[in-house]
Every structure is written in C-alpha cells, then in structure tokens.
Amino acid sequence: MRKKLRFKDKVVIVTGAAQGIGEGVAIAIASEGGKVVLADRSDLVKDVVKKIKLNKGSGEYCICDLETFAGAKKLIAFAIKKFGRIDVLINNVGGTIWAKPFEEYSEEQIMAEVTRSLLPTLWCCRAVLPQMISQASGNIVNISSIATRGIYRIPYSASKGGVNAMTASLAFEQAKNGIRVNAVATGGTQAPPRRIPRNKNPMTKQEEIWYQGIVDQTIESSLMHRYGSIDEQVHAILFLASDESSYITGTVLPVGGGDQG
C-alpha cells in the first residue's frame, strides 16, 4: 500500500518540536511530504531536523522564545523567508510546570504557567494571521489538554481553557478568510523522560504525592483507564492538520480515551 502524502509540498510549522509530541508530529509530517519548520528554544531541535533529513525529508529549524511576541514574529518571518508561504501552523508549546493544589501556587508560579501554556499559542496565532489572510488560506491546529477538568494544575488548566476559547473564536472570525482553526485536547501521554525538564528543581516528597494524584485522576477519568501513546496523539493532530478535515473548524477534539476534558 502506498504511503499517504497528505502534506506534499505544504509548508508546516511545528512549535515545541525538540521532543515529545512535537517531535513526533514534525517527523510524521515530513515523512508525508511536508516542508517542516521546527521551532523550539532548545538546541535539541537541531537533532530532530537531522533525523528528518536522514530520512530524505524537508526540515528547517528556528530557535526562538515563543513566550514573547517578538519570538513568534521571528518564527513566522523565518518560515516565509525560507518557503514563501505558510500552510499549516501547529501550536504545541506548553506543559504544566508544577503539580500542587492551587492554594500552594505563588503569584510568580501562576504567571509562569500562563506564560508557558497560553501565550505561545496566542502569539503565534496573531503572528501568522497576516500571511494566511494574504494567501486566503491556512490551517491552525492548537494543542490543548483534557486537564481543563483536572486537579493540582489549575493555572495550566486555565491556560488550556483559554486555548480552547481562542480556537473557537478565531475559527469563527477567520472562516471568511479561508482559515480553519481546530485544537486537539491531549490526554495523559506516555513519553520518554524529558531531556529538558519544565521544572529544573527536583520534586519534593510532597510534590511527588501531588503529581501521582494527577496521574491517578487522569487514568480514572479516562474510560479506557490508561495513558495514550505519542503516536495516538500524532495521528489525531495530523488528521486536523491535513485536508482530510477540510469541513471541520472551531472544534476541540479530545484524545484522552473518552475523557472529554
């Protein structure tokens, strides 16, 4: 059976592409003919581009801080300079930094969570719009989370709730310009240990107990009572990023074994 080439000659940006789901998405899209721009603030993204090129795929990297509008504009300008257009933007940056009851968060920690898990998606959507509007076409896939209903990570939950609201509203606003906007709400996902941890400080014994509480609640809330795999998340993201979902916009697709978030 011939391999699908759903992204043949399409220019696709994948943010947070140095590891985890973002890495899996970038490699999969390149294998289906996409011209992929991998964005991350870690130099590890260079290794992912090497993997893509070893498999005869098209990949370029842009090291940028997407927690800032300047970083998002740098990324979009880089992609346009390299390829002249942007067909798909996949906003994958995010992830909870701390695991604990809300009353245990400091003001600084709350702001860090929002800056990490809401602003990169907000900034990148804003930065890419002029190009997609000028093309009269585009497809944005935001990575959200079923943690919008979950314990011990309220600032992260609020951030992903914001991603969901932005997805629905931006789709409503931009349909007239030929731009689709959807989101995948990822559930608990088995992944290798992060090469760059979100929190540089090791968890205390109490924080380990709270984190286990997140794991237990995630598994219990899933009808399938398990974590998913990176591939299971990648398949859903690629569907929404491809033309196979051409009549879908403004939708948040939960991929959490039945947990709707």
Q: Which of 61, 105, 152, 156 is catalytic?
A: 156
- State the Cα–Cα distance between residues 183 and 186, nearest whole angstrom: 9
Q: State yes or no: is 156 an active-site residue.
A: yes
- State the Cα–Cα distance between residues 107 and 209, nearest whole angstrom: 22
Which of 10, 12, 145, 122 shows the shortest CA–CA distance to 71? 122
For the chain, give the number of residues: 261
| Runs of H (alpha helix) within 68-153 | 69-83, 107-117, 119-135
Measured between its terminal Cα atoms, the distance across the chain in Å is 36
Please say whether the dihedral angle defined by the alpha carbons of residues 201, 204, 210 and 211, taken in this order, is positive or negative.
positive
As annotated, the active-site residues are 156
